[in-house]
Structure 1
Amino acid sequence: MILPTQRHLFELPDDLTWLNCAYMSPQMYAVSEAGKAAVLRKARPWELRPEDFFTESEALRGQFAGLVGGDAAGVALVPSVSYGLAVAAANVPVKVGQRLLVLAEEFPSNVYPWRELAERAGGQVVAVRRPEDGDWTRALLEEVDERTALVAVPHCHWTDGGRVDLVRVGERVREVGAVLAVDATQSLGALPLDVAEVRPDFLVAAGYKWLMGPYSQGYLYVAPRFREGRPIEHNWLMRGGSEDFSRLVDYRDDFQPGARRFDVGERSNFVLVPMAMAALKQLRAWGAADIQQTLGALTSRVAKGAAALRLEVPPESRRAGHLVGIKRRGGYAPDVAAKLAARKVYVSVRGDNIRVSPHLYNTEADVDRLLEELDALV
C-alpha cells in the first residue's frame, strides 16, 4: 500500500527538501517529545526505581525483536554498528587461511573488525568486486566456498542501494559451515527483513537512520548458537541477579539470559531508550513493506529523471526501493552536494554516486525539485 505523506509528523521546514535519510533521519515530533520528557526526568532521580533499569530497556528490546521477527532474548542493546560487529568478531571462529568476504566499497565499520580478526587468526579479508550488471547476490555466491569462514554483508549497498538477497546468501553460507553477519543499518525499517528467513548469526543496525531514533542507540541480533559467547565488556547489568541492587557485592559468574550478555554498559539510557521506543513504535505502525512500496515509487521517479539527464542508476531489479545512487561518468564536481544544499536540497555523495534516500516526509515534488536542480549543475 502506498502511504500518504507523513511530513506533518516531522520537524522539517517547509522550504527544505531532505532526501538524505541514509545520512541521518529527521526527528519526529513524538521522538523529540519523548527525549525532552526524559531529560527532565533525570532532574528527579528520586523518581527512578531499580526496576526502571530493566523494564524500559526490555520493552525496547521487544520492539526491535518484533521489527525483525525474532525473539527478545536474541537482542542486545548496543551504541553502534562497530560495537555490535566487535562482539561478532570476538566470537566468529576463523582458521589459518580461511576467507572473510565483504563487498567492495563497503562501509568501514563492516571492514575494520574483520581485518583485525583476519590478522589475529591468520585469515584473509576478500572484497567481492562490484558486478557490472549490479547483481551482488550472484557475485557473492560465486565467491562462497569451503574456504569461507565469514560473509559480512549489508542488505543493500550503502552507496547506491544495490540489493543482496540475504536468504539465498544465507543458505549458501550455512552449506559451507560459515558465519553470516549482516549490517542492516541502511535497510532495516524501510526494507522488510525476517531473521527467521535470513537466519543471520549476527545482525546489527544503527538506530539513527532508517530506524529514525536517536544517535548512539543501536541493536544487535544474535542467533541462538552464539548467545553463550564472549562479551567484549563486563558491566554489572549483564550479570545474573543484577536486579537486586542490595546484593551487587555478591559477584556472580552467570549472565542475564540470551544475548543480554552483549549489552553495552549503561544500556538503560534514560534519555535514548524512550526516544528509540517512540521511533520503533511508529515504524512498526507504518510497516516496512508499505514503507518500501511508497519509497520505491519515489526512487523510480528519481531513476527515470536521472536517465533523462543521461545519468546512471542501478537496475531497478537489482536495488532496494528506498535508496538509489545516481552515477555520472567522469564523476561530479567536488562541491555538487554543497551547491545543492545551498538551494536547500540535501543528498549525499558516496563514491561516484549522488545518493538519494527519501522517506515518508517526501513527495514527488521533492524528487522533481532535486532533478531540476541537478539538471542545472550537470
Structure 2
Amino acid sequence: MHPTIENSSLCKKSLFQLDDAHYLNCAYMSPLSKSVEEAGIIGMQRKRIPNALKSTDFFEDSEKIRNLFARIINISNSHQIAIIPSVSYGMAIIAKNTNFRRGQNIVITSDQMPSNVYTWHKVCQKYGLELRVVKPDRTFNNYGNLWNEKILESIDRNTALVTLGHVHWMDGTLFKLKEIGQLARKYGAAFIVDGTQSVGALPLNVSEIQPDALICAAYKWLMGPYSIGVAYFGSRYLAGIPLEENWLNRVDSNCFPDLVNYKYEYRPKAIRYDVGEVSNFILLPMLVRALEQLLEWDIKNIQTYCCNLMNDKLINQMGELGFLVPEKDNRADHIIGVDIPKYVEIKKLQSILNRNKVLISVRGQSIRISPNIYNDEDDMNALIDALHQFRRN
C-alpha cells in the first residue's frame, strides 16, 4: 500500500516542466520553474539592443537579490550580501581575509562537498595548520547526534576556523550550528557555513546562528541558475580585500561618465566582494525570480511539504525492504541518505530506478533522495515501486 501525502495542495509541479520523470534529485540540481526560465529568456532578449540598457540596469537586479536574500536569512542590512559565482569563490574570500598562524587548526566534517575542502587543504599547507576532519561513527543508530558532539570536541583554543554545512550534502545529517558557532566564538575562531544544501528548503536564521559567513550556490535549493550564488558576511569580514579589483565594486561606479576618475574606495560592506561583471543580464533576473518565488511559497512550508513526502509510512516501507534511513531527529527532510546493505548490487539498483524514471543520486553505498515542492505522491510511489521491483529480482 502506498503512503498518502498530506497537504498535497502545496505542490507546485504545474509551475515546472518535468515531463514524466520522477525527479527526486534537487540536491544535485533543481529544475528551473517556468517563470525563472522566462526571466532568463527576457534577459537574453534585452541584449539584442544594447543601447537600450541604462546605467541603472547594471545595479537594480543585484540590489533586488541582496534584499530578497536578506529576507530569506533574516538579516536587516542587505549590504552584508555579496553576489558570487560559486561556493569556492566565497571560500577563497574567507581564506584571503582570515589571519592564520602556524600551529592552528581548521575543523571540517568528513566527506564535505569539495568546494569547501580544497581551499582549506591549501591554507593548511601554506600556513602550517592542522586540518581536523571529523568523521561520524555510523555503527550507532544516533550517529548524527554523536557526530555533532565530536565536532564540538574538536574545537579548541588553537582553532582558527570551523566550516561545515547546515546539513551534510550526502545524507542530510543536521548539524547543530547554534552550539558549534557559540563554541567557535568562545575561542575566537571564524565560523563559516556552506548553506548550499539547506537555504531555500530549510529555515535558517542568521541572527540566531551568527556565522561569520554564509556561502550559498544558487542552482540547488534556491532554485536559481548555475554559475551564480550569494554570500552573507558578518562583521569580521566587512572591511576585507576582495579577490578582484573590478570597477563595479568601487564607490560611484554607477556614474559612467566619471569612471576614468579612478576611485580606490570599495562600495560598502560585503558589496566589495561582488564578482566582476556582476551585472549579468541573464542570470540575475533569473535569480531574482527564484528568490521571489521562495518567499511567496515560504521556506517553512517547503520543509513541511518535504516532510510530508518523506512520511513515516514511506520510511517504514523502505526499512521493511532493507534500506536504512537515519533517525528523524538527526536529519533534515529535504535530503535523506538511505544506506544500502553491502550485498546489494548498486548498478542493478540504479538500472531499475532509471527504468522507472526515478531520478536520484547514488553516493557510495547509499542513495540520496532529495524531493522538493514540485514533487507529489506519484513520485514517491514510483520510488517505492522501483525498490520493490529491485527486491523481487
**Pairing 1:186-225 to 2, within 5 Å after superposition:** 186-225=197-236
Q: Amino acid of the residue matched to residue 144 of structure 1?
A: I
Shift of 1:267: 0.6
Candidates 126, 136, 150, aligned match of 1:130:
136
Matched, 1:337 2:343: no
Matched, 1:264 2:275: yes
For 1:347, the equivalent position in structure 2 comes to 360
Any stretches of 5+ residues in structure 1 without a counterpart?
none
SS in 2 for 1:51: helix
Cα pair 1:159 1:351 within 8 Å, conserved:
no
**Pairing 1:151-300 to 2, within 5 Å after superposition:** 151-300=162-311
- Residues 136-155 of structure 1: CA deviation (Å, up to 9, x unaligned): 32221121111211111000
- Residues 319-343 of structure 1: CA deviation (Å, up to 9, x unaligned): 0111101111216423533441232
Change (3 A) 1:179 1:335: farther
Q: Amino acid of the residue matched to residue 160 of structure 2?
A: A
Q: Give RMSD over aligned pairs.
A: 1.4
For 2:93, the equivalent position in structure 1 comes to 87
- Residues 45-97 of structure 1: CA deviation (Å, up to 9, x unaligned): 11100111111211111111111112211100001111111111111222111
Bigger Cα displacement from structure 2, 129-138 vs 180-189: 129-138
Any stretches of 5+ residues in structure 2 without a counterpart?
1-5
Q: Amino acid of the residue matched to residue 280 of structure 2?
A: N
Runs of 4+ in 1 over 4 A off after TM superposition: none
* Identity %, equivalent residues: 40
In structure 2, how many angstroms separate the alpha carbons of the residues matched to 1:182 and 1:57? 22
In structure 2, how many angstroms separate the alpha carbons of the residues matched to 1:246 and 1:292? 48
Q: Amino acid of the residue matched to residue 211 of structure 1?
A: L
Cα pair 2:352 2:389 within 8 Å, conserved:
no
In structure 2, how many angstroms separate the alpha carbons of the residues matched to 1:126 and 1:168? 18
Candidates 363, 370, 373, aligned match of 2:376:
363
The TM-score with structure 2 as length reference comes to 0.93
Change (3 A) 1:82 1:338: farther
Cα pair 1:94 1:118 within 8 Å, conserved:
no
May I ask how many residue pairs the two structures share in their alignment? 377
In structure 1, how many angstroms separate the alpha carbons of the residues matched to 2:388 and 2:110? 30
**Pairing 1:59-70 to 2, within 5 Å after superposition:** 59-70=64-75
- Residues 209-236 of structure 1: CA deviation (Å, up to 9, x unaligned): 1000111110111002211111111110
- Residues 123-164 of structure 1: CA deviation (Å, up to 9, x unaligned): 111110113322232221121111211111000000010000
Shift of 1:303: 2.4
Candidates 39, 45, 48, aligned match of 1:40:
45
Candidates 72, 75, 81, aligned match of 2:78:
72
For 2:326, the equivalent position in structure 1 comes to 314
- Residues 281-327 of structure 1: CA deviation (Å, up to 9, x unaligned): 01011111111111012223442222111111111000011110111
Matched, 1:328 2:340: yes
For 2:3, the equivalent position in structure 1 comes to none
